[in-house]
Amino acid sequence: MDGVGIPLAGIRVVRFGGHNQRIVGMPLAGILIQRQIYIVNNKGTRKGCISNSGHPQGVPLRDIKMAKKQKLELTWIGKENRPKLEPRILLEDPEKSYHAMHRVTDNDVFDNRLIFGDNLLALKALEQEFAGKVKCVFIDPPYNTGSAFTHYDDGLEHSIWLSLMRDRLEIIHNLLSEDGSLWITVDDNEAHYLKVLCDEVFGRACFVSNVIWEKADSPRNSARQFSTDHDHVLVYSKKTDWIPKRLARTDEANSIYKNPDNDPLGPWLPGDPYANKPYSKGQYSVTGPTGRVFSPPPGRFWRIAEKKLWELDKNGRVWWGPKGSARPSIKRYLTEVGDLVPRTFWSKKDVGSNRTSKNEMRMLFPGDSSFDTPKPERLIERVLNIATNLNDLVIDSFAGSGTTGAVAHKMGRRWIMVELGEHCHTHIIPRMQQVIDGTDQGGISKTVNWKGGGGFRYYHLAPSLMEKDKWDNWVISKEYKSAMMAEAVCKLEGFVYAPSETLYWQHGHSTESDFIYVTTQNLSHEQLQQISDEVGESRSLLVCCSAFRGRADALPNLTIKKIPNAVLSRCEWGHDDYSLNVENLPQKPPEPGQQALFGEEVES
Ligand SMILES: C[S@@+](CC[C@H](N)C(=O)[O-])C[C@H]1O[C@@H](n2cnc3c(N)ncnc32)[C@H](O)[C@@H]1O
């Protein structure tokens, strides 16, 4: 029987029954029900299997039932290819960093970071220092709509988009703290694939919600099919027991509470007195102030026992209607209800729409140099209100015009933003300068009474540690001076870079007693012996040097590695762009099996 494929990036269900299977059509992304596909002849005898890579495998199989245990999984071409990322160091450019001249409040934050460069390398660069420390990641990646925006490419082929997102999501997951959460805006083009992908990275149990954000102000009558009113905001938590913060009550939510009887406890709402579930003390009759007798309707019960009802009535907490002749209701006082639980529909009235953000951009950048796809500040404010507290760390690795940083800054949260487009300089820096100067009075400034203050440091990614020499050999890049090299090797080896002012051999540490020394020198046995003596018995040292003489294991407190040889296979060197820009992707030939995902007989 033939498996029936459906077009690009569709959900593909393939059924197999006969011996000579054939799969027609090749989805670039799809839901694969089984990782191993078993070929069975019509007597039910196993003949072999085809793995995900598409190679028939004649290996003996334990049981065909095994297949049922395989998980439901989204798959796409190239899913198995994972980049071996180089953990780059970040270099500050003080000329582009910015801070206020003086403190405005005690909560001013100065150690925010703006990173210019590809976010996959940037996230990798942050991983060592920030793993487990980030309270909230908000990202608004290119939606993969196929539209051409002025400032960046949006319209990647689905498989590439999924791979690029997966690689970023995995690092984001590592960065989040135990009580952290991830928020992603996306539209219908990729929302449902992204949901399945996030389930895989975060675990399905960590899916919190798919919030609907009403982004459009009016219908678009030129739409061919439907005019889209909303975007999705996918919310995932690091742990399943994550509790969102409640939202402050609004005037609108409070306005339904009234005080028709001038109750000294203030405005109240009449609460439903009935319960649906059978309750032994919930079936009785009560006589109201005018002598009318009330019982619950058939199949329903009083919510509280009779004794409790009269107690509440004595305290003026029961409402019998304006004339005292209505069935009793139990008052719910405004002063006693808590803040608002977040809901899944976010209206433009509450959090702004695309039009709101366009207006915010116009205020920040008068003229026509504004950014194409900004988000409204109130949308991000709501996310941060639910997901963070004062001083928590927020990351946005698709920063765009810098809305997340601007809002986080005004709300007293610490932030890291990454942007690879030139608008990092033309939009984010000037925007953050206006925020820090207090001259940005748009967006949420008035609501949070923003007066300015704080600052940020601007970084870019260091070049690759390795470069090819004229004989095509990998050598340490000429751009690396000794301090930079020490920092880069520390990072590569998982050490914290913290050069000692007194001990030349201490460039960093992994624990209190384990250190690293990085040098381009060729170390003699005498030099190593001297270092070993200084390190002493209670400490250990990793020595990374160009060359050395003597046996590597001769000195028990030293581990000696030759660089670059010892690190050459660690990662991909010289790869500067993992961006979501198709043109920049490496032209790598497909791996064997990548095209033939389901075997040789595939027709693409
Ligand atoms: C939809 S916009 C974000 C808009 C933003 N939320 C705002 O309010 O302005 C997506 C941004 O991601 C950036 N981007 C795309 N790929 C990137 C990458 N690999 N590294 C860093 N930024 C990237 C684009 O340049 C673009 O500015």
| pLDDT score for 520 | 92
Model confidence at 578, pLDDT cuts 50, 70, 90, reads confident
Question: What distance, in Å, lies between the first and last C-alpha atoms of the chain?
Answer: 18
Instruction: Give the per-residue SS3 of 229-249.
Output: CEEEEEEEECCCCCCCCCECC
The answer to whether the beta carbons of residues 312 and 258 sit under 8 Å apart is: no
CA of 346 relative to ligand 1 center, distance in Å: 23
CA of 139 relative to ligand 1 center, distance in Å: 8
Q: How far from the centroid of its chain's Cα atoms is residue 586's Cα?
A: 25
Tell me the two tokens of residue 541: 């040292």
The answer to whether the beta carbons of residues 169 and 201 sit under 8 Å apart is: yes
The answer to whether the beta carbons of residues 444 and 450 sit under 8 Å apart is: yes
CA of 173 relative to ligand 1 center, distance in Å: 19
Tell me the two tokens of residue 441: 């009075």
Model confidence at 278, pLDDT cuts 50, 70, 90, reads confident
Q: What is the pLDDT of residues 251-269, one digit of tens each?
A: 889 999 999 999 999 999 9
Nearest CA to 159 among 584, 580, 583, 571?
Answer: 580
Residues in contact with 401: Cβ distance below 8 Å, sequence separation at least 6, in sequence order: 361, 364, 370, 371, 374, 423, 427, 428, 431
- Does ligand 1 come within 6 angstroms of the Cβ of 119? yes
pLDDT exceeds cutoff 50 at 27: no
CATH topology of domain 466-567: Trna Endonuclease; Chain: A, domain 1 (3.40.1350)
Q: Average the pLDDT over 553-574 and give the result.
A: 93
All CATH 3.40.1350 domain ranges in the chain, comma separated:
466-567
The answer to whether the beta carbons of residues 47 and 19 sit under 8 Å apart is: yes
Residue with CA at minimum distance from ligand 1 atom 8: 374
Q: Which long-range contacts (CB under 8 A, 24 or more apart) does 307-314 make?
A: none
Q: What is the pLDDT of residues 306-364, one digit of tens each?
A: 999 999 999 999 999 999 999 999 999 999 999 999 999 999 999 999 999 999 999 99
Four-point Cα dihedral 119, 135, 456, 385, nearest 10: 120
Q: How far from the centroid of its chain's Cα atoms is residue 96's Cα?
A: 27
| pLDDT score for 54 | 37
3-state secondary structure of 291: coil
Q: What is the pLDDT of residues 81-105, one digit of tens each?
A: 899 999 999 999 999 999 998 888 8
Distances from the Cα of 550 to the Cα of 157, 546, 547, 554, 562, angstroms: 54, 14, 10, 8, 13
CA of 152 relative to ligand 1 center, distance in Å: 8
Model confidence at 270, pLDDT cuts 50, 70, 90, reads very high
Q: Which atom of ligand 1 is nearest to the CA of 152?
A: 25
CA separation for the pair 505, 507 (Å, rounded): 6
What are the φ and ψ backbone dihedral angles of 602, each rounded to 5 degrees? Answer: -65, 135
Residues in contact with 21: Cβ distance below 8 Å, sequence separation at least 6, in sequence order: 1, 2, 3, 39, 599, 601
CA separation for the pair 12, 177 (Å, rounded): 36
Q: Which atom of ligand 1 is nearest to the CA of 138?
A: 6
Q: Average the pLDDT over 403-422 and give the result.
A: 97
Model confidence at 28, pLDDT cuts 50, 70, 90, reads very low
- Does ligand 1 come within 6 angstroms of the Cβ of 405? no
CA of 399 relative to ligand 1 center, distance in Å: 5
Whether the full predicted model's pTM is greater than 0.85, yes or no, is no
pLDDT exceeds cutoff 50 at 32: no
| pLDDT score for 506 | 97
| pLDDT score for 373 | 87
Whether a cis peptide bond, with omega within 30° of 0, leads into 564 is: yes
| pLDDT score for 241 | 96
DSSP state of 324: S
Tell me the two tokens of residue 145: 């709509």
More reliable by pLDDT, 370 or 177? 177
| pLDDT score for 446 | 97
CA of 129 relative to ligand 1 center, distance in Å: 23
Residue with CA at minimum distance from ligand 1 atom 26: 400
Q: Ligand 1, residues 166, 420, 440, 444: which to mutate, most atoms within 8 A of Cβ?
A: 420
- Helical spans, DSSP H, in 395-515: 403-410, 423, 429-437, 482-492
Q: What is the pLDDT of residues 212-230, one digit of tens each?
A: 999 999 999 999 999 999 9
CA of 109 relative to ligand 1 center, distance in Å: 24
Percent of all residues in the chain with a pLDDT value above 90, rounded to a whole number? 71
Residues in contact with 152: Cβ distance below 8 Å, sequence separation at least 6, in sequence order: 142, 421, 580, 581
Helix (H) / strand (E) containing 177: strand 176-186
Q: Ligand 1, residues 116, 375, 398: which to mutate, most atoms within 8 A of Cβ?
A: 398
Instruction: Considering the domain delimited by 90-247+342-461, tell me its CATH architecture.
Output: 3-Layer(aba) Sandwich (3.40)
| pLDDT score for 103 | 86
All CATH 3.40.50.150 domain ranges in the chain, comma separated:
90-247+342-461
What's the whole-number average pLDDT of the chain?
A: 85
Residue with CA at minimum distance from ligand 1 atom 12: 398
Q: What is the pLDDT of residues 141-170, one digit of tens each?
A: 988 776 655 666 666 677 888 888 999 999
pLDDT exceeds cutoff 50 at 466: yes
CA separation for the pair 366, 370 (Å, rounded): 8
Amino acid at 137: V
The answer to whether the beta carbons of residues 222 and 359 sit under 8 Å apart is: no
| pLDDT score for 504 | 96
3-state secondary structure of 531: helix
Distances from the Cα of 145 to the Cα of 191, 230, 394, 403, angstroms: 11, 15, 27, 21
